[in-house]
């Protein structure tokens, strides 16, 4: 059943109605550009590491992995902090900070002279950044609740589109303008995001509570202010599962596709299409599933998405042609596209406004944890038990997630 809207919530929705579309447009653009900047180095990162003085092939691979993962590791650590700061000082301020910090970080990465500086600057990008997660908090809290999942679906499409376009731009630009100039160009584009955020984001302020009530809430911890913690814990686990499902097959895709091809010359191209298929499916379905969730209930979409993705993972373990895998990954992307908007919507509906940023920051950290756990788990299982075991193991995790969410929300009667 849909969440009950109180008179206060109705007032909040009327208050947020003035600027939320404008905020969504700027957040979409900013998230798209910053995610592109985060991922465009994938195709040429080993080449840049080699330019910075690393010659041994094994060390190039090792340092490339460290440099790439450094940003997400740092971002996972500070996401709850930025969420709490957003609750205290405003969501717009966090976006201004993140866009300026990333513009500086990307420009400095293009000036690195050794691999240690590269890793340090990638860490700095993770610590100072977080525009996409900050945008999620802003859109979640500044959009009328009846439109939250749809708006978050649109934003999610921009984030996933950035993940899709980033490596493509990273493969095209360096041969034309050079690796360092590619970073400088990315920094310049993010600076435009900084300007757009500064001048066009409008954050509606909630009515100030009485001083005594405000002091009492500040003295409480975040979890103490959440009436029912079970839905929130379920969403943190679901966010982690989503990223594990998306990332667990990343280490084995190329090897798995190689087993399906007779002509190995097209291996990298087919592997790229397989990886892009899921992202494309999610881009196409995110806003539509978000709109459906606003109408029928967010948790129903979450449970259905987890269950369908679990079923789609089974045939992926037994494909005999690459085109079969591409279609199945695309369908899985369609199923999973609505998960992130629905997760964020459920959190918003179940926590007070005063701590929504802190809890959404925890949700972001949980998702980053899934991005780390997924490749590690997939690589370990694939290496020790075979490729099929990765798909089947992920299937069991998604099925367990669907059952867990059904169990929690059947008991709490949340929508």
Taking the alpha carbons of 135, 65, 164, 102 in that order, is the dihedral positive or negative? positive
CA-based diameter of the chain, in Å? 72
Alpha-carbon span 152 to 165, nearest angstrom: 20
Question: Cβ contacts of residue 71 below 8 Å, gap of 6+?
Answer: 38, 122, 123, 125, 126, 129
> What span, in angstroms and rounded, lies between the C-alpha atoms of 314 and 291?
28
| Whole-number pLDDT of residue 15 | 47
- pLDDT at 396 exceeding the cut of 90: yes
Give the residue-averaged pLDDT of 56-70: 76
Read off the tokens for 223.
Answer: 């979890």
At 101 the pLDDT is 93
The more confident residue out of 262 and 107 is 107
Structure tokens at 370: 């899934």
Structure tokens given for 334? 């369609």
Average pLDDT estimate for 339-363: 81
What's the confidence (pLDDT) of residue 338?
79
* Most confident of the following: 58-62, 110-114, 364-368: 110-114
Cα–Cα distance for residue pair 234/298, rounded to 1 Å = 13
The residues, ordered by sequence, that sit 6+ positions from 219 with a Cβ below 8 Å of its Cβ are none
Angle, helices 148-172 vs 339-350, to 10°: value is 140
Q: Can you give the pLDDT at residue 20?
A: 85
Q: Does the pLDDT of residue 110 top 70, yes or no?
A: yes
pLDDT computed for residue 226 by the predictor: 77
Q: 159 with 132: CB under 8 angstroms?
A: yes
Residue 219 has pLDDT above 80, yes or no: no
pLDDT at 27: 92
- 6 pLDDT band (50/70/90 cuts)? very low
Answer yes or no: is pLDDT of 172 > 90.
Answer: no
Question: Quick one: CA dihedral 271, 272, 273, 278, positive or negative?
Answer: positive
What pLDDT score does 161 carry? 84
| Amino acid 215: pLDDT | 45
CA torsion, ordered 408, 409, 411, 412, to nearest 10 deg:
110
- Asked if residues 182 and 170 have their Cβ atoms less than 8 Å apart, the reply is yes
What does the chain come to in residues? 415
Write out the E strands in 270-364: none
Helix (H, G, I), strand (E, B) or coil at 132: helix
Span 21-45, average pLDDT: 86
What are the C-alpha distances in Å from 3 to residues 6, 212, 281, 350, 415? Answer: 9, 29, 29, 9, 6
* Alpha-carbon distances of 137 from 79, 142, 345, 358, 387, rounded to whole Å: 11, 8, 10, 9, 37
Instruction: Tell me 55's DSSP state.
Output: -
Q: How far is CA 346 from CA 151, 309, 405, in A?
A: 14, 20, 12
Provide, rounded to the nearest whole percent, the portion of the chain with pLDDT above 70: 87
pLDDT band at 412 (very low <50, low <70, confident <90, very high): low
Interval 295-318 mean pLDDT? 91
Q: Long-range contacts made by residues 116-121, C-beta under 8 angstroms, separation at least 24?
A: 117/52, 118/48, 118/49, 118/52, 118/63, 118/67, 119/63, 119/66, 119/67, 119/70
pLDDT band of residue 4 (cuts 50, 70, 90) is: very low
**Can you give the pLDDT at residue 46?**
77
pLDDT score at 18: 65
Percent of the chain with pLDDT over 90: 23
Q: What is the pLDDT of residues 233-245, one digit of tens each?
A: 889 899 888 888 7
Residues 252, 379: contact at Cβ < 8 Å? Answer: yes
Residue 188 — pLDDT band, cuts 50, 70, 90?
very high
The pTM for the full model equals 0.69
pLDDT at 259 over 80: yes
Q: What is the pLDDT of residue 108?
A: 95
What pLDDT is stored for residue 107 in this prediction?
A: 94
The per-residue pLDDT for 247 is 74
**Least reliable range by pLDDT among 60-64, 138-142, 317-321:** 60-64
């Amino acid at each position: 059943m849909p969440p009950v809207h109180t008179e206060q919530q109705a007032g909040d929705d009327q208050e947020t109605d003035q600027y939320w579309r404008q905020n969504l447009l700027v957040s979409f653009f900013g998230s798209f550009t910053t995610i592109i900047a985060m991922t465009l180095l994938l195709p040429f990162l080993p080449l840049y590491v080699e330019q910075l003085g690393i010659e041994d092939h094994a060390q190039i691979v090792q340092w490339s992995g460290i440099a790439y993962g450094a940003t997400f590791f740092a971002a996972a650590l500070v996401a709850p902090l930025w969420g709490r700061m957003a609750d205290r000082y405003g969501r717009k301020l966090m976006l201004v900070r993140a866009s300026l910090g990333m513009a500086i970080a990307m420009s400095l990465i293009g000036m690195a002279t050794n691999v240690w500086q590269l890793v340090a600057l990638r860490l700095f990008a993770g610590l100072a950044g977080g525009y996409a997660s900050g945008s999620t908090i802003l859109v979640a809290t500044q959009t009328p609740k009846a439109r939250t999942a749809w708006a978050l679906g649109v934003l999610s499409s921009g984030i996933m589109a950035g993940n899709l376009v980033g490596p493509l731009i990273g493969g095209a630009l360096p041969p034309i303008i050079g690796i360092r100039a590619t970073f400088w160009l990315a920094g310049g584009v993010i600076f435009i995001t900084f300007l757009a955020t500064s001048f066009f984001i409008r954050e509606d302020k909630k009515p100030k509570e009485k001083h005594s009530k405000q002091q009492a809430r500040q003295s409480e911890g975040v979890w103490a202010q959440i009436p029912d913690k079970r839905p929130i814990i379920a969403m943190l686990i679901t966010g982690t599962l989503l990223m594990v499902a998306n990332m667990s097959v990343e280490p084995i895709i190329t090897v798995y596709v190689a087993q399906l091809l007779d002509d190995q010359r097209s291996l990298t191209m087919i592997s790229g299409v397989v990886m892009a298929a899921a992202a494309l499916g999610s881009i196409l379905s995110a806003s539509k599933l978000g709109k459906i969730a606003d109408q029928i209930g967010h948790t129903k979409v979450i449970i259905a998405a987890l269950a369908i993705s679990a079923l789609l993972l089974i045939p992926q373990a037994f494909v005999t042609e690459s085109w079969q895998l591409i279609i199945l990954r695309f369908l899985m992307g369609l199923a999973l596209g609505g998960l992130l908007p629905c997760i964020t919507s459920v959190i918003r509906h179940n926590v007070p406004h005063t701590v929504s940023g802190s809890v959404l920051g925890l949700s972001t950290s949980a998702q980053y944890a899934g991005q780390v756990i997924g490749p590690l788990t997939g690589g370990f299982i694939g290496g020790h038990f075979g490729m099929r075991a990765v798909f089947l193991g992920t299937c069991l995790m998604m099925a367990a997630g669907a059952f867990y969410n059904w169990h929690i929300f059947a008991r709490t009667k949340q929508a």
